[in-house]
Every structure is written in structure tokens, then in C-alpha cells.
Structure 1
């Protein structure tokens, strides 16, 4: 491993709340905290600090110890299932602020890339069907199955509000049979020894009636808006949103998006106007949402946030964020830290 990779492993990237929840999960299974934290720099004070972050190196050290202590190969998936919307911090609030249930899937992928960057994800959609492929960018080796199961469990949990059937494929073997795995989630089909790790899911025809009042409100509002808007314009709006959200750091212009949709820029503008917005408003809304997410729930430097969101430099990002919110990015981050 070269020096840059070793340095990356030592950077505090992952919120301590995930480590705390995992350790509590293992404690309920009879594994002592000291056995997991031994030979690491993770302290109880860090685990109890909502603003603390832990490095990839420390997280993988804990997971390696836990992996061989788990007496059930399904345990990592079960832990992932416990990571519902509130467990991901601001993810729940960010998701509930979106205007369409389709955006839930895109927001999950984008947030996990930032808040829990143990793996990267590749999102594709065809109509109401979404496919998320997990990508091992860290070279996790023997830990790949464990972390993959955690991600799959959490993606299933937070997506189940708006998606129905799930097809989960693991690129490794299992000792237990498919029925044993399916007992964890009756709406899932599990497959092993697949070419890659991926989950495929389909939006429900009718939203789930769970006790999540905020999400019910979101879905009800979305249905009302959808009924008021032109169908073609609404579909274009959703497609443009997904394109911007899936690659927020790349140059994104009206002409670029129009070419990808195989329509003229004039038609694109007309569709967005019929949906009550414009390309500029849409892009700025998405940029603001992601910027606020980065600032409040991560320690990512301002310069890196600016780059991820497609700004030429930090000064341009600061100017834009001030125009959106009335605050500088630095002020927003400080205010968030004080409120915790």
C-alpha cells in the first residue's frame, strides 16, 4: 500500500455513531466491548461524542475482530437492518424534505457515499426499477462480505418504505440456505456466488402505510403534486433530478442533460417550466441540499465539498451557499456543531 493510501486510511471519515451502534449490537450478542476496542484508539468518550469521527483503519480493525466473533453469518445483515432513517442522522430529515419517493433511493446512495464511505455505490434505474451495485474501492479483502451485508441490510431497511420486491445478490458463498436468509426479510430474494454485489428493487404501486408520519406526509404531497402536473413534464423533472443527484460533482448544463434525454434544450426548458421550476433552480436546490448535508453531518473540508458539488473553487461555493441560505458554509458548520 502506498503512502497516500495509508494516509487516507488514517483520516477520520466515519461518524462515531455507527461504531457505537455496532458495538452495542455486538454487546447484545455477548461480545464484550473491550474485546472489540482492544489495540485501537477508539475510546468511550469518542463513541459518546455526536461530532466525533473515526478513521477507516480503526473501523476495519473493529470489524475484523467482530467478524470472527459473529456466530451467525447473517448477523452483519441484521445489523444493517437496524440502521433505519433516524439512525443515519440527517439522512432521515434530508429524505423527508424531497419532493418525490423516487428521490429516496438517490438520496440514500449519495448520503451513504458521504456519511458511511466504507464502500462506493453505482446507481442505475429503468422506469420504477432501481439497481445499486456495491463497489469495493478500499480493497477490503476478507472484510468485503461483512461490510457488504451491512450495506444491503440498511439499504433494504430504508428503501422498504417505498419499494416492494428486493433481489439481493452477493458475490460470495453462504453456509445457510436461502430460506434461512429470507426469514430475515420476507420481501427479499437472496442469491449467492453472483458476479457482483448488487440489490435490485422496484417502487411500490401504492406507498407503504407505516407509522412514519413524516414519510406519509411526503408521499401524500408527492401524489397531489403529480396529479397537478403534466405527466411528461413530471417524468422529465424526475429524470433531470436523478441525473444531477447521481453525479453532483460533474459539469452539468442544460445542453448536457438535454442530449442525455435525447430532447432539445428548448423542450427541456418547457418541460421544467410546466413542472414549476427551471434547470438553474433545480440544480441549486440539489446543490444546497447536499452542501448542507456535508456541512452538518461530515468533517469533509470546504474545499473538497466545493469540488464534489462542481464549483471551480471554495470562494465560488461560499458565495453560492451564502446566496441560498444567508450563511457562509463555515458559519453553517459551526452552528450545527453548537446545536449538538
Structure 2
């Protein structure tokens, strides 16, 4: 009989986009795809499906299969550096509008906990200095160094424009000189064999830039109404909002969200009803906000927007958007362009 912890390993919790990027990263280093996927339960069809999710068991098997293929122990950190804002989904785009550096760091930790729940993180701050500790809450043991490096690399990539210096500490050894690690993050400190795995970074005081040549899309932050702020006082509503924001597409259902929160769909509906809202209302509100930002601030085709937000076709998106705002997506985009 399977235990609850064993069952938890089989629940789809991680977007396949991370596995897709990881496989491509390994392919760029000369490792064949079929070698990476062998005996992992991860298929090409899953990697090519934008709405697919992987279980922790599949992620562990994939990383364990690839870990021994990495000839450079810095490879996992380098992969983490490729996980920039666009790699982390729609919330990553929303972070672009966050002008407060302190709030930005907090949002990064909050999102990684939800969108990439392979490790946990503890955030502390003293003055303008932040410390993020990486904690193994799954008991991955031999893969902990690999996962820790991935998280550290991504934290560095996302935060380097608002932090002036990074001090990395790893609670495992390294067999290569520190100067080789510093080539990946110039001017930063690396220490191995410490008691905990953590990164310490002082804020530079600069706001996160609102444009980046590497971004495929540029989206400003979502403006929340007073009603939304009132709802955020309810912890369940905040958790549901975070999960919807991280993946508002087709897999975003009451059942999937309830499973992520480890409660029944009925209990979830009761919590939301008690807070004066519903899953449908929260999801539509978030989809409306992101749709409007895409329409006004980017040139992303309507078909692509509708797909990202979970609509089966553009006509369905247009109908829904009109019901939310009284305007069609085309009208909003034309009005925005006329003001530029």
C-alpha cells in the first residue's frame, strides 16, 4: 500500500516547460534526448504539450538520469541562469512592473515556491540585505546539490539587476577552483562545505527595468482593485490567486488547484465562497488583467493570447473578453495604438 508521501510524488505539480528547457540545455551540451528521457516516464509528447505538468517522481528521474551525464559540475548552475523571468510563466512578466526592489525579491521567492516547488526557500532580511536559504523538503538526497545549483542560478539571473553583490554558500563540496565558479557570476563569492545552502545579497536600490531585449513579451504589472485587496486578507484566496497566475491555461481547474493545495474541491469552493468570491471569478479576473496588459503593451497575436490564457480558440477569447469589459480585444488594441 502506497503511503501519502509516495502518492504525493505522483501528483503533477511542475510545468513541463521547465523539463523542455532542461532537455534542450542538455542537448546543447551534446547529450541526446532519448538518453535523457530513458526510463523517466517523460515523453516527447509531454515536452511538446504547453499545458502538461510533471510529477515530482518524473522530475527526480529526469534529473537523476541527466546528473551523471553532466561532465561539468557547474552545469546545473548554468541551467538555472537560463531560467529568466519569461521562463517562469505569466507571473514572471507581472514581476517586470514591480518597482520596489524589496517587493521584487519577495515575489521571486513566493513564485518559485508555487511554480517550481522542488525545493523550499526561507527568506530573511536585515536592512537592505536579503538572505535566501534553500531547503530540501522532498528528501531528494543525492540530487540536492543539483537542485540547489539550479535554484541559485535562477535567483542570480532574476535578481542581478537589483542586487549589487551575491555571496553563495553551498552545503556540499566542489572539486574545482572557486575562480571557475566566479566566471559564471563575476564579482560574486562562492563558498562550499558550509552548514547551510544560501545566497546573501544586498539590494542596489535600483528598480527592476521595464524592458529587456531578451523578453519575447513585455507586460506591465497588474493593477488590483480594492475588492481584490480585501480578498487577499484570506490566505486561501491568496494561494489560489498565485496558482492561477502561475498557470492560467487549460490545466487551471478547481480540481487541479485543490489537489495542489491538498484539499478537496468542495472545501476549496467553501473557502472561496466564505471570502465572497469563487474560482471562476478569480480566474476570469486574472485572465482579464493579463489579457488587457498583453493587448495594450505588446504585439502578441490574439491567437497566442487566447491560447496562453486557456481558450480553445480566438473566438472564445473574444466572446469572454467582451463579456468582461464590454469591448473586443481588437478595439482595446486599436485604442492603445492610437494613443502612442
Scaled by the length of structure 1, the TM-score of the pair is 0.71
Match in the other structure for 2:309? 336
User: Equivalent of 1:294, from 226, 243, 264?
Assistant: 243
Match in the other structure for 1:327? 281
- CA distance, structure 1, for counterparts of residue 173 and residue 147 of structure 2: 15
Match in the other structure for 1:83? 83
Alignment of 1:129 onto 2:136: no
Scaled by the length of structure 2, the TM-score of the pair is 0.71
> Cα deviations across residues 70-116 of structure 1 (Å, max 9, x unaligned)?
11010000000000001111232231344522111111111111111
Match in the other structure for 1:183? 183
Match in the other structure for 1:120? 120
Q: Aligned to 2:134, what secondary structure does the other structure show?
A: strand
- CA distance, structure 2, for counterparts of residue 88 and residue 123 of structure 1: 19
2:101–2:206 CA contact under 8 A, matched in 1: no
Match in the other structure for 1:226? none
Match in the other structure for 1:49? 49
Aligned residues: 279
Alignment of 1:18 onto 2:18: yes
Q: Which structure 2 residue ranges, 5 or more long, are not aligned? A: 288-306, 314-340
Between 1:143-152 and 1:179-188, the stretch displaced more is 179-188
> Cα deviations across residues 239-281 of structure 1 (Å, max 9, x unaligned)?
xxxxxxxxxxxxxxxxxxxxxxxxxxxxxxxxxxxxxx99964
- 1:138 CA displacement: 0.7
Alignment of 1:148 onto 2:97: no
Alignment of 1:94 onto 2:67: no
Between 1:205-214 and 1:63-72, the stretch displaced more is 205-214
2:99–2:207 CA contact under 8 A, matched in 1: no
Q: Which has the higher helix share?
A: 1
> Cα deviations across residues 19-52 of structure 1 (Å, max 9, x unaligned)?
0000000000000000011112211111111110
- 1:320 CA displacement: 4.0
Q: Aligned to 1:69, what secondary structure does the other structure show?
A: coil
Match in the other structure for 2:271? 316
Match in the other structure for 1:6? 6
2:96–2:220 CA contact under 8 A, matched in 1: yes
Q: Aligned to 2:132, what secondary structure does the other structure show?
A: strand
1:318–1:328 CA contact under 8 A, matched in 2: no
Match in the other structure for 2:299? none
Q: Aligned to 2:62, what secondary structure does the other structure show?
A: helix
Q: Which structure 1 residue ranges, 5 or more long, are not aligned? A: 220-276
Match in the other structure for 1:105? 105
Match in the other structure for 1:252? none
2:97–2:220 CA contact under 8 A, matched in 1: yes
> Cα deviations across residues 198-231 of structure 1 (Å, max 9, x unaligned)?
01111103447685389x9989xxxxxxxxxxxx
Alignment of 1:170 onto 2:170: yes
Q: Aligned to 2:281, what secondary structure does the other structure show?
A: coil
> Cα deviations across residues 128-179 of structure 1 (Å, max 9, x unaligned)?
1111111101111111101100000000100112111101000000011111
- Provide the aligned C-alpha RMSD in A: 3.6
1:307–1:313 CA contact under 8 A, matched in 2: no
For residues 198 and 319 of structure 1, do their structure 2 counterparts lie closer, same or farther at Cα, with a shift above 3 Å needed? same
- CA distance, structure 1, for counterparts of residue 262 and residue 39 of structure 2: 36
Between 1:87-96 and 1:160-169, the stretch displaced more is 87-96
Q: Aligned to 1:118, what secondary structure does the other structure show?
A: coil
